[in-house]
Amino acid sequence: MFKRYLNELTVHFTITPDGPILIKAGDTGGVDPTRPDMEFVRTWYNGRETVYLPGSSLKGMLRAHCEKIARTVSNTGHQAENGQEYMRRRLSCNPLLDESKNAEGGCGEKFSRLWNSKPPTAEEAIHHSCFVCQLFGNTALASHVRLSDAYPSAEEIAAVNRTEERHGVAIDRVYGSVAVGPFQFETVTRGQFQGTLTVRNFTTPQLGLLGLALRDLQARRISIGFAKSRGLGRIKTAIDRVSLRYPAGELLQRSEGQPIVQDGQIAGVAAFLGQQEIAAYGYRSDDVASSDALHYQSDGWGGLEADLTGGDTLIVFQSCVPAWAEVVHHGR
Ligand SMILES: [Zn+2]
């Protein structure tokens, strides 16, 4: 969708289990009777085998929470009344709903139904995708958000035994007897996992929504993995560092000759685009938020960057919440 690389924000985080968590490995088959029936995902990292938190699971967790926030404040009215206005105000779809003619289903599924002979153009894909799909992607749109796998540090892989075996049964709802099991499952209960979240070519309303999800993650309101309803999956998340980068920040100017990227401001992607492009992408035109904490430094290559650590890390996101509120109230 974007042939330019205008801004990028990276969040460095550390996740610690707050009780047992389980992210299931794909089919473990149960061939080896000495292994638990459900194993935690493992991979090779720094020359050793280790449990880890896959980026796909982390992204799924964050997306699901953004959808929940978006649905909570959503006010689209009826699709039948005005299709274009409906999509402009549509904050979230339901990607898990596969009823093929359901208006409340996922945007991605809609593309395969309505554009089955040829793929939608970039503009069609944007205009017919909800706000959350525009940020996290769907079958027709690339994601702006990327999550790395989260690994223990090298010393930790060697030093800490993080896993514990547990036993469970599934209870038959009618008879109250054991339906499946007993089975063993492997959980992770200790250790730290470090990873990064990257958003590229973001708008300020997108950062606002992501910020609300990160705040909830920090406040331990989001769980991950298997059996969340039974209390598994609780995690503590620390936001260690946030860095903001404008790769061509020193070179890009407004038509009046002022720099677009200035201290105390976060420039969303629409701040770099002309009116025609803004309309084509369906963005809001005033895509700048203010945050006194931001002081940019040259990277020596024509780019500008700012780093936030300590208690200030979520301030950038918080200052974008009013932009998200504008989208909630008036559409994008
Ligand atoms: Zn969608």
* 267-295 pLDDT, tens digit each: 999 999 999 989 888 888 889 999 998 99
- Residue 139: its pLDDT value, please? 87
Asked if residue 206 has pLDDT above 90, the reply is yes
- Give the distance (Å) from ligand 1 centre to CA of residue 106: 5
Q: How would residue 29 be classed by pLDDT, with cut points 50, 70 and 90?
A: low
Q: What order of strands is seen across the sheet that includes strand 297-298?
A: 145-147, 193-200, 8-17, 235-246, 304-309, 297-298
- Residue 18: its pLDDT value, please? 94
- Give the distance (Å) from ligand 1 centre to CA of residue 167: 38
Long-range contacts of 326-332 (CB under 8 A, 24+ apart): 326/205, 326/284, 327/91, 327/131, 327/205, 327/284, 328/73, 328/74, 328/75, 328/91, 331/85, 331/88, 331/89, 332/88, 332/89, 332/131, 332/205, 332/282, 332/283, 332/284
- Give the distance (Å) from ligand 1 centre to CA of residue 235: 27
Q: What is the pTM of this model?
A: 0.90
- Residue 151: its pLDDT value, please? 94
- Residue 77: its pLDDT value, please? 59
Distance CA 217, CA 35 (A): 32
- Give the distance (Å) from ligand 1 centre to CA of residue 62: 15
- Residue 257: its pLDDT value, please? 82
- Residue 295: its pLDDT value, please? 95
Q: How would residue 99 be classed by pLDDT, with cut points 50, 70 and 90?
A: very low
* 31-41 pLDDT, tens digit each: 666 777 888 99
Most confident of 59-63, 91-95, 111-115, 170-174: 59-63
How high does pLDDT run on average in the chain?
Answer: 87
Asked if residue 86 has pLDDT above 70, the reply is yes
- Residue 27: its pLDDT value, please? 61
- Give the distance (Å) from ligand 1 centre to CA of residue 78: 16
Q: Average pLDDT of 260-267?
A: 94
DSSP run (H or E) holding 2: none
Distance CA 180, CA 86 (A): 45
Q: Average pLDDT of 230-259?
A: 91
- Give the distance (Å) from ligand 1 centre to CA of residue 173: 34
Task: Map out the domains of the chain as residue ranges.
Answer: 8-330
Residues in contact with 321: Cβ distance below 8 Å, sequence separation at least 6, in sequence order: 208, 211, 212
Asked if residue 126 has pLDDT above 50, the reply is yes
- Give the distance (Å) from ligand 1 centre to CA of residue 143: 12
Distance CA 4, CA 260 (A): 16
Q: Average pLDDT of 90-110?
A: 71
- Give the distance (Å) from ligand 1 centre to CA of residue 203: 17
- Give the distance (Å) from ligand 1 centre to CA of residue 331: 15
Q: Average pLDDT of 233-261?
A: 91
- Give the distance (Å) from ligand 1 centre to CA of residue 139: 10
* 159-177 pLDDT, tens digit each: 666 788 888 777 777 777 7
- Give the distance (Å) from ligand 1 centre to CA of residue 95: 7
- Give the distance (Å) from ligand 1 centre to CA of residue 135: 9
- Give the distance (Å) from ligand 1 centre to CA of residue 267: 25
